[in-house]
Amino acid sequence: MEPLAAHPARCSGPKAKVFAVLLSVALCSAMLLLLQLKLLKPKINSFYTFEVKDATGRPVSLEKFKGKVTLVANVASDCQLTGRNYWALQELHREFGPFHFSVLAFPCNQFGEAEPRPSKEVVSFVRNTYGVTFPIFHKIKILGPEAEPAFRFLVDSSKKEPRWNFWKYLVNPEGRVVKSWRPEEPIEAIRPEIADLIRQMIIKKREDL
């Protein structure tokens, strides 16, 4: 009987080379597909597509504010700028709202730890102290990996990241950021911009009739 031929230690024939080529092609195709899916992912271009939480923790769709001009601010109760900014925001809300305009306030404790209160206490405090009637939402984070996506959209769109409490972002009826202000800037600098956006909005609605 003839001895059995020894098997080779490894497969290095033509079939192995073909398999390696096919595997490489498959991996490259998969990587290209993943990249394409990432690039094709729809880009969010409206503030009003986000969902946030109200002061009690219930979800609120910002879609309800679409079609209005909004001024969004990060607020705090125990800041040296609190009084004048809340008075100014309430004045703007009373002057231009509620049909064409609204102030939207998001408490945040990341700047000087100036908002230690729970969200519901914030609402009670600002209503009793400053007569606030505009929406106060759930306390959020603005900086870092836990930043609220809706507020991060404002920051990314404007390229202006808040460095203190009461940073303000003006959002048009379509949900795009058109301007931002530092907390020290007076209400007189903000009022004309709001009035102009509202005027444009009303003209457009009349033209669409």
> Which candidate, 74, 148, 62, places its Cα nearest to that of 111?
74
| Type of residue found at 144 | G
Catalytic status, residue 11: no
Evaluate the CA torsion angle 135, 82, 91, 200 in order and state its sign: negative
From 11, 28, 79, 108, active-site residue: 79
Is there a contact between 94 and 63 (Cβ–Cβ < 8 Å)?
no
> Which candidate, 202, 83, 73, 187, places its Cα nearest to that of 131?
83
Cα distances (angstroms) measured from residue 155 to each of 74, 76, 111, 178: 11, 18, 16, 12
Cα distances (angstroms) measured from residue 16 to each of 5, 6, 12: 21, 19, 6
Cis amide leading into 98 (omega within 30): yes
Distance CA 138, CA 136 (A): 7
Query: Which residues participate in catalysis according to the annotation?
Result: 79
